[in-house]
Structure 1
Amino acid sequence: MAQVYVALGANLADPIGQLNRACQALLSLAEGDSLSVSPFYRSAPMGDVEQPDYVNAVAGFKSTLSPIDLLDALQAIENQQGRVRELRWGPRTLDLDLLLYDDQSIDIPRLIVPHYGMRERSFVLVPLSDIAPELILPDGTALQTLITASLKAELVLAEPQP
């Protein structure tokens, strides 16, 4: 059984509701009662596309799915919630990114783990730290060493999830 971490993000069609529905769907992928979810944060969008702010969180859970099967399951949840892939870094109903899969490093055409951009993204690092403060990345880096006061200052707590 693998410990996995998934980033959640949405900025269309009731983003907080989208994340709440995604968390419910993740329950079906989690073994037992292993699902934990960070608080929801608001963050500015990346890139040059004008769009609403995002609501982001990170979920952690234990899974028996292989990395590719988990990726497929995450993409199925995105699709069920109306995800359309039109524009890189564009607005979306739901984005689920597999951040970490145990302590594995994976680099295959469909999947790179640890997620390629997680080290620079406050909307990933801060919520990940909320649920796994002692986490050590596969390369031996302690998560806490990546989190600075400026990263924390970039985020604002969104409405609490139910």
Structure 2
Amino acid sequence: MQHVLFVCLGNICRSPMAEAIFNDLLEQHQLTGQFAVASVATSSEEEGNHPHPGALKAMRAHGLDASQHRSRPITAEDFDWADTIITMDHANVANLQRMAPNRVDAAKVKLCLDIIPGREGDPIDDPWYTHKFELTYQELATALPAWLDELK
């Protein structure tokens, strides 16, 4: 079983959206038994909080529900658990590589849009700041099928 961990700053916008979209893709492709998926934060400031209302609204518009999700910060156990860590922007990458218990764990960290030709190095901007939750959804919905193809 492959373990995929999605990470963003607060775990209330991008990473729970990615978790919900990826789980939906797994169901559509009948691959739920081959993957385990989770999402976490690089920061503890939102710990215990629900996803942002804008993220929930964007997901609901596409038939997804992450209302039971609660933010939590990444732990050393998460690095050990994950086979692949997909993150949203360069600050997340830098923070995770600094936090990683070892080089093997640091090598698991990938930038989400790097999987899309022509988008290598592009961040998925934090909609907490931009308020562009639908754009965030669309960027994730473009990248995550490619990640699924890469990982299966």
Q: TM-score range, shorter-chain basis?
A: 0.3 to 0.5
Greater strand share, structure number = 1
TM-score relative to the length of structure 2: 0.34
Considering fraction of residues, name the structure with more helix.
Answer: 2
Q: Which has the higher contact order (CA 8 A, sep 6+)?
A: 1
TM-score (norm 1): 0.33
